[in-house]
Structure 1
Amino acid sequence: MNTTAENRVVDITPNDLPLACSGPKHETWNGHPRVFLPIESDSSIECPYCGTVYRLHGEAGHH
């Protein structure tokens, strides 16, 4: 998993699935509720709570 802090874009691989977001820093005291994000192969999705964009490089498979 590779994160770019400036624009909150996170590059992920199929090994990082299932995809869940709990806030930009993933700290329980200042995050948002943990949400699972439905991502498709070789695509991206934005978290509705914090705006972090996740980009999947590869096949999503059964996730």
Structure 2
Amino acid sequence: MSNTVELLAKDLNGNGGVYCPSAKADMKLWNSHPKVYLDVASTGEAKCPYCGTEYKLKAGEHVGGHH
């Protein structure tokens, strides 16, 4: 059961990434997997190796220093 989460640049942390599980993916921490850091800024998307959730930067969004 794969889920895709569209992100705005402001949703990323200072390193250009997010953590999964994420509240944005409507996940409950108690029934998920270990917290994992995903680098979204470098390619505009990242997929969680545990649950398969895909995090994608919304079209037109740019992260400072990453284009």
Tell whether the structures are fold-level matches, with TM greater than 0.5. Answer: yes
User: Identity over the aligned pairs, expressed in percent?
Assistant: 36
- Aligned residue pair count: 58
By percentage of residues, which structure has more helix? 2
Alignment RMSD (CA, Å): 2.6
Query: 1:60 aligns to what?
Result: 63
Higher relative contact order (CA 8 A, sep 6+): 2
Paired residues of 1:40 and 1:60 also in contact (CA < 8 A):
yes
After TM superposition, the runs of 4+ consecutive aligned structure 1 residues lying more than 6 A away are none
Task: State the AA in 2 paired with 1:20.
Answer: Y
Normalised TM-score (structure 2): 0.66
Normalised TM-score (structure 1): 0.69
Distance 1:31 1:7, change over 3 A: closer
